[in-house]
Structure 1
Amino acid sequence: MRPDRPSFNRRRLRRLPLLSPRQWRRRLVFWLGAALVGVVAVGFAAAAEQAQHLFSRMVAWQPLLVLLLAPGALALSLWLTQRFFPGAQGSGIPQVIAALHIQDPARAGRLLTLRIAAGKVLLLLLGLLGGASIGREGPTVQVGASIMHALGRWQRLPRPELLRLLVLAGGGAGVAAAFNTPLAGLVFAIEELSHSSFKARTGSLTLTAVVIAGLTAIGLVGNYIYFGQSTARLEMGLAWVAVPLCGLLGGLAGGLFSSMLIHIPRLLPGAVKQVALRHPVLFAAGCGLLIALIGLASGGTSYGTGYEQAKLLVEGQPGVPESFAFWKLLATVVSYLSGIPGGIFAPSLSVGAGIGHWLGALLPGAPADAVVLLGMVAYFSGVVQAPITAGVIVLEMTGNHGMAVPLMGAALIGFAASRLVCRRPLYATMARRFMAGPH
């Protein structure tokens, strides 16, 4: 029998991507997920800001109160992480990279549950209430990926590759909404999260998620520039010596920082290592005490994300000591070593700004505000070893496209300098630990 022609044609039309009801249902779920990532990122940012302001008010009232707040908050955060939210520790970006490369969907999914996402948010706020030097941007990547993963599971996507695309898009959307940097979100997803697995379809899906999440965030809080508008310029001539100098010193410092995070846990003295292994909550409390002492020594500038200090430096305002970069880097290492949930994006950008501030005093021929940006991009590129992401994210966060060429130059030099002291990229190395773990 010949098939009924009208029915046959309808079935053929429904198989077309633009007319398939199933494809449109998936697109709508995907778009809804990206918008939800934007809403959560905005709410997360507002809550983190309030937590940091509450901490600042408490220590302004009594500076020595931090000697109780920091150890207590870090100990409680680590206990809750181990007891209720295993997999929420650290930045969150290594977990997303691991989930994208683990072949077993069940194992990958255990790194991206909504329970872990909720724990990530709550425990990061607790860390900020204790003055830890942590940021919310890396955790937002894991939260965004977890939301998209949950929606993909709900839709029962037929192929694991489609679920990975959702996870990748959710991570990129998280960066875009957290910083209001849509281009950086796309570049970060391609350069840092997906690595060699990038395909044309990956880019289109991620771009769609980034745009929707970014528009959602703009609709809620307006179109802002993260660090405020920078008008710095670097004229051709002798001032350009700042580019290789900042690139070299910032990249070396960023590489050393990454190397410390990778190797310090196994290089700790024997007694300290035993405490960390057998009594991790007590060890976290000790890290909290160190954070409190570092904060007191720095005049309170090492606490929290470092956003306020970096913004002052980018805008050329006074109030940040030249020793800021040293204390902030030290506080960030100790915070990460404690094992509590928290990212290093914002602290690293603030350390880089501090390095640029210090170098600016040694380079009177170069504008100080321009050197701050160069130090920021070079150090951040050295930490993450993703120079394109570093250059784009600093450009978008400062709104200064006139510095595009020197910033990209400093980012590339910083990347090369970092590889001299840290051969393995930080996030990829930590992702391998999750891939090899019991998840």
Structure 2
Amino acid sequence: MRFTGSRHLRRLPLLSPLQWKRRLVLWCGGVLVALVAIGFAHAADAAQALFAVVTAWNPWIVFGLAPGGLALSLWLTRRVFPGAQGSGIPQAIAALHMTDPKAVDAVLSLRVALGKVVLTVLGLGVGASIGREGPTVQVGAAIMNAVGRITPMPRLEMQRALVLAGGAAGVAAAFNTPLAGIVFAIEELSHSFEQRTSGVVLTAVILAGITTVALSGNYTYFGHSAVVLDVGRDWLAVLPCAVVGGLAGGLFSQVLISASRGLPGRIGRWVARHPLLVAVLCGVVLAGLGVLSGGATYGTGYAQARGLVEGHADLPAGFAVMKLLATVVSYLSGIPGGIFAPSLAVGAGLGSWLHAVLPGFPPGALVLLGMVAYFSGVVQAPITATVIVMEMTDNQQMTIPLLATAMLAFGVSRLVCRRSFYSALARRFLDAVERPRPAD
């Protein structure tokens, strides 16, 4: 009787050794995602700083650095780290819908995660207009997937929850925005939030957030914005910001989705046969945009967006358009890299441009509205866009105007891009993985 009672106690969730082992492994996974994200951020910043030093010495050197760097990155992606190309978020979404554990392990292998970090840093080191947040999502999902193999989970949904938790923890650690990580997991990665897996996601995000704050401080990427949008006339700025940002973001997404399907006709066949030459040509265009913008279009765009938010940026009038084009060119080259940070920079530039057109409105508020509108138009995840901009600028007073702008921009974006960017690419990725191979 005593033996039976003792065994019964060990089966209780609070006292079960197996459950505690799983909890500890999960907690270690969340902390590890944060540590890798922090290291990734420092490496990316160092690469951009080195690039800035080199181009300050000779701005024209970028015409050799960017084409050669993009070609090298693409070659390494194809030969050494296959599966590391692109943003990383579509791969994480696709993994959530796979039923074959071997296929998930292939998409979220630690080898691919390493390639994602190395090649994203390389891209930033040669001036590519890319971000590290999307790659951090795939890296975080890969780490948690590896954690799940150490302690096998009893159900398929729990294994998927680990992937979801890793991606969400990656967003939380990359932006230092824990709430955004949770919302992103619900709205974009999973499109649902099951009660059975919610604790796994929340635990990983919280631990990643705590680790990031403990090691990096409670900072905000875009500084502190105290602007407000007074109820009344100022709210008239919401509509033009939503329309311009939604249209621009939707067009950007549609161009990239269409390009992922391949160009038609003879041009498409030439591009498919000469990917390295295409990367070189993209590098030449990227260098030209950088020189034309005085270097403003290189890299993530964090510094430019922060300057616009804080009101001390000195950027060319066409910054938003040139940054958008630089991001398109960087993505089309086929190298690894995300679009989160560049999209926020483009949106900030659109808001600044709108202030020149609508001078009667608060300039800082228009910058925030432009950021959330364009970002919502690109990713078609309005709540995530709102929370990210709110947390990254430490401005809760703008929450309602930001949410209203994001929702309107989402509707406008859907007029030109019927399916969200990440979902469309994830569907194509799944189709490629699940497509039966021809018989030998």
What TM-score comes out, normalization by structure 2 length? Answer: 0.97
Q: Partners in 1 of 2:69 and 2:269 — Cα distance?
A: 22
Q: Which moved more, 1:250-259 or 1:287-296?
A: 287-296
Q: What corresponds to 1:192 in structure 2?
A: 188
- Residue identity in the other structure for 1:292: A
Q: What is the Cα deviation at residue 369 of structure 1?
A: 0.5
Alignment of 1:144-163 (within 5 A): 144-163=140-159
Q: Distance in 2 between matches of 1:250 and 1:127?
A: 27
Shift of 1:201: 2.8
| Equivalent residue in structure 2 for 1:335, among 304, 310, 330 | 330
In structure 1, the residue matched to 2:275 is 280
What is the alpha-carbon root mean square deviation over aligned residues? Answer: 1.2
Task: Show the counterpart of 1:202.
Answer: 197
Match of 1:87 among 83, 87, 99: 83
Displacement of 1:160 in angstroms is: 2.2
Task: Mark the CA change 1:77 to 1:119 in structure 2 (over 3 Å): closer, same or farther.
Answer: same
Query: Aligned letter for 1:199?
Result: E
Worse overlay, 262-271 or 420-429: 262-271
Q: Distance in 2 between matches of 1:298 and 1:275?
A: 30
The one-letter amino acid paired with 2:42 is: A
**AA partner of residue 295 (structure 1):** G
Listed as ranges, the gaps of 5+ residues in structure 1 are: none
The aligned residue for residue 126 of structure 2 is 130
Structure 1 residues 297-376: aligned runs within 5 Å: 297-376=292-371
**Post-superposition offset of 1:156:** 2.5
1:65 to 61, 69, 85: 61
Using the TM superposition, name which of 323-332 and 265-274 deviates more.
265-274
- Aligned pair 1:259/2:254, yes or no? yes
Which segment is superposed worse, 153-162 or 184-193? 153-162
Q: Supply the distance in 2 between the matched residues of 1:6 and 1:54 (Cα, whole angstroms).
A: 67
Which segment drifts farther, 86-95 or 201-210? Answer: 201-210
| Counterpart for residue 112 of structure 1 | 108
What letter is aligned with 1:331? A
Paired amino acid for 1:434: F
The one-letter code sitting in structure 2 at the alignment partner of 1:230 is S
Letter paired with 2:35 = V
Write the distance in 1 (CA, Å) between the matches of 2:191 and 2:316.
38
1:417-432 correspondence runs (5 A): 417-432=412-427
CA distance in 2, matches of 1:64, 1:392: 39
Q: 2:289 aligns with which of 294, 309, 312?
A: 294
Q: For the residues of structure 1 that align with 2:261 and 2:139, how far apart are their CA atoms?
A: 29
Matching residue within 410, 414, 433 for 1:438 = 433
Could you list the per-position Cα deviations for residues 242-270 of structure 1 after superposition, in whole angstroms to 9, with x for gaps in the alignment? 11110111011100000010013556474
Question: 1:386 aligned to 381, 389, 402, which one?
Answer: 381
3-state SS of the aligned residue for 2:433?
coil
- The number of equivalent residue pairs is 434
8 A contact 1:137–1:175 mirrored in 2: yes
Give 1:367 deviation, angstroms: 0.4
Describe the superposition over 1:195-236 as per-residue Cα deviations: whole angstroms up to 9, x where unpaired: 14x201322211111110011111111110111000111112
Identity level (%): 63
Q: Does 1:215 align with 2:237?
A: no
Q: Which SS does the other structure have where 2:300 is aligned?
A: coil
Aligned twin of 1:235: 230
Conservation of the 8 A alpha-carbon contact between 1:105 and 1:160: no
What residue number does 2:396 align with? 401
Displacement of 1:364: 2.0
Distance 1:131 1:272, change over 3 A: farther
